Amino acid sequence: MTSVMTAALRRLLGMAATLLVTSFLVFSSLYLAPGDPAAFLVRGRSPSPDELAAIRQQYGFNDPFPVRYWHWLDGVLHGDFGRSYLFHQSVGEVLWSRLPATLLLVGVSTLMIAVVGIGAGIVGALRRGTRTGSAVLLLVTVGAAVPSFVAAIVLRSVLGVKLGWFPTIGNGTGVLDRLHHVVLPAIALSVTFMALVTRVTRSAMLDELRREHVEVALSRGLPRGTVIRRHVLRNALGPITTVCGLLVSGMLVSTAIVETAFGMSGVGSLLVQCVDELDFQVVQAIVLLVVAAFVVVNTAVDLVYPLIDPRVRAAGGAR
Amino acid sequence: MSALSWARRIGGGPLLRACVLVLALFVLVSLLAPWLAPQDPTFGDLGNTLVGPGAGHWLGTDKGGHDTFSALIEGTRTSLVGPLAVVLFSTLLGIAVGLFSAWRGGWIDTVLGRVLDILFAFPALLLAILAVALFGKGLTAPVLAMAVAYTPYTARLVRGLAAQEKVRPYIAAYQVQGHSSVFVALRRLLPTIMPTVLAQSTVNFGYALLDLAALSFLGLGVQPPTPDWGAMINQGQAAVLEGQPLSAIVPAVAVVLVVVAFNVVGEHLGDRLAGRES
């Protein structure tokens, strides 16, 4: 038990170190920009004296580099990402107002990916060699190559414009209307990831199905359904969870594509808008959040792995 | 003709052959683009906007009156050159880092492993978007950023393969004969693992194409009037809502076709190599 605790503690320390390094990289990226960094941040606009003071406060351009980073990190840890020149608000406020729409989109997509991806993967593994099994494989090959912006065009054009079942633009108002608006974007966001999860589920299930303990369980007369659920799927969940964790960053970045395609107002479309209209402080904050989310989720996956798969715990938490 | 015989030699099912032919076709089109395009894709004929497919415009025109077929053909160049550069840079960089890491071992290996772990946290498209925010729109900055983002995949693969290969007797034999480490690593070890690395690079090409097309779709990559598939899809979006999706669908189909083809060919190469080794 203590070895599990030590392993968990080491993971958490590793996460803190990774977050520190990534935050330093994101902070330093500003200095890669050509020219004076202060001029870079305010280029193309005439900021008010207040905003100029805020930028000096945020980045401390007169301090030595490590001190500057420390000030910036201190602000970020307190939720202070600086000011947005585009919106004349704090970056935190801008992000906060856009966050619910993106969380809804990501949440609905995650649900779709989990249900359809794992479901299709199970069917693909159990019906291997049949027509259904081949159909799953073909869908996986095509699905993995359909980018969200192509899915968006097809969905809007067929289900939106031709059939008129779903709205094609905007976020909607009220709970039901918002859900109605998020259906097509969520499908567009999910297609690629569904295919990847299906593929992993299928191959993890096939790996387990081939193993001896499954044969033993079946030969002892356990019902096939029970064996599939408790001996095959249960063992396959480990690799599936790991892959899902790795997909997080790709999914968060793809919200930029999907939200832009569907004219939704969220963090993803905010990122694109702020790159387009030269609001670097917002871009920097979003990049940092996406990377941090990836690191945190994958650490969490590592931490819950021994709960999903007790064999890892027996091996002393080492993976 | 030679593509067809090559397809036969590769073997595999009809899907694989079709994919090889698709790739050969698009490479050919990109080489011959200026001679194949019937019209100037940058010329907007405002008297003929959103025309359907017909004799004058084989695949119709977009909202600005640009000929979709010509833009598709000319767009093949920018759409393939970008990912090609990404894959070339990231493969070279990945081989260098991976070989060095495996050859030296010890703390260098550990540190480089950590650096790669951290790079994995930056998805390619995000790094490309950050590069555009810093250096402006276009193809150069995002391609370089994505080359860095794709490096860990190749580096991790090369490191693993090279570490396995390094302990084999033939490597020790070359070293005993007094060959330099650089010679043994680059001229003797690298060629044995190169096929697997190329299979990975083939799959990477498809993903890099998707990322760059996404960037152009967002309006941050290749800028109109330069023809590019991602940019064409972006331009065609408004017409989709008016029930005229053709000018967006055509480049979208091209993107999916090429990416499917790269994935199928890359995976087949990988499977074949895995089968030979086991």
- The answer to whether the Cβ–Cβ distance between B132 and A275 falls below 8 Å is yes
User: Which tokens go with B153?
Assistant: 């995949």
- The answer to whether the Cβ–Cβ distance between B118 and A150 falls below 8 Å is no
Closest CA to A243 of A281, A210, A202: A202
Mean pLDDT of all residues belonging to chain A: 86
Put residue A170 in one of left, alpha, beta given phi > 0 → left and psi -120 to 50 → alpha.
left
Report pLDDT for B57. Answer: 66
Report the gap between the CA of B155 and the closest CA in chain A (Å).
18
DSSP state of B43: -
- The answer to whether the Cβ–Cβ distance between B118 and A21 falls below 8 Å is yes
Report pLDDT for B105. Answer: 86
With CA atoms as reference, the chain B residue closest to A297 would be B121
- The answer to whether the Cβ–Cβ distance between B220 and A253 falls below 8 Å is no
Report pLDDT for A16. Answer: 92
Report pLDDT for A157. Answer: 82
With CA atoms as reference, the chain A residue closest to B15 would be A138
Q: Which residues of chain B have pLDDT under 50?
A: 1, 7, 277-278
Residue A99 has pLDDT above 90, yes or no: yes
Residue B161 CB contacts under 8 Å (≥ 6 apart), including other chains: B98, B193, B196, B197
Report pLDDT for B4. Answer: 53
- Each residue of A184-211: pLDDT tens digit? 999 999 999 999 999 999 988 888 888 8
- The answer to whether the Cβ–Cβ distance between B263 and A141 falls below 8 Å is yes
- Looking at residues A289-314, what average pLDDT do you find? 84
With CA atoms as reference, the chain A residue closest to B259 would be A145
Report pLDDT for A35. Answer: 78
Q: In 10 A of CB A240, how many CB atoms?
A: 20
Closest CA to A156 of B201, B249, B261: B249
Contacts of A153 in chain B (CB under 8 A): 233, 236-237, 240, 245, 248-249, 252
Report pLDDT for B5. Answer: 57
- The answer to whether the Cβ–Cβ distance between B220 and A33 falls below 8 Å is no
User: Which tokens go with B160?
Assistant: 């693993």
* Highest mean pLDDT: which range of A146-155, A220-229, B81-90: B81-90
Q: Is A115:A201 a contact under the CB 8 Å cutoff?
A: no
With CA atoms as reference, the chain B residue closest to A31 would be B134
- Looking at residues A34-61, what average pLDDT do you find? 77
Higher pLDDT, A315 or A143: A143
DSSP state of A31: G
Q: Best mutation site among B62, B117, B129 for testing chain A: the one with the most A CBs within 10 Å?
A: B129
What b/e readout covers B51-76, taking b as 16+ CB neighbours within 10 angstroms?
beeeeebebbbbbbbbbbbbbbbbbb
Report pLDDT for A135. Answer: 87
Report pLDDT for A318. Answer: 44
Report pLDDT for A53. Answer: 77
Report pLDDT for A1. Answer: 55
B85-to-A235, B143, B148, B217 alpha-carbon distances in Å: 41, 7, 12, 19
User: What value, to the nearest 5°, has the Cα angle with vertex A199 and ends A118 and A196?
Assistant: 85
Report pLDDT for B277. Answer: 47
- Looking at residues A100-129, what average pLDDT do you find? 91
Report the gap between the CA of B173 and the closest CA in chain A (Å).
34
Of B220, B230, B233, the CB nearest to A275: B220
- A–B CB contacts, 8 A cutoff, strictly below: 122
Which residue ranges form the domains of chain B, and what is each CATH number?
A: 58-277 (1.10.3720.10)
Q: Domain A95-318, what architecture?
A: Orthogonal Bundle (1.10)
User: Which tokens go with A162?
Assistant: 């031709």
Q: Which residue has the tokens 């170190």?
A: A17
Map out the domains of chain A as residue ranges: 2-90, 95-318
A319 — pLDDT class (breaks 50, 70, 90): very low
Report pLDDT for A186. Answer: 93
Of B123, B129, B255, the CB nearest to A150: B255
Dihedral (CA of B270, B272, B277, B278) sign: positive
Report pLDDT for A8. Answer: 85
A317 — pLDDT class (breaks 50, 70, 90): very low
pTM of the model: 0.89
Residue A48 has pLDDT above 80, yes or no: no
- The answer to whether the Cβ–Cβ distance between A261 and B237 falls below 8 Å is yes
Report pLDDT for B246. Answer: 82
ipTM (interface pTM) = 0.89
Report pLDDT for B278. Answer: 38
Element of type H or E holding B194: helix B190-217
Residue A47 has pLDDT above 50, yes or no: yes
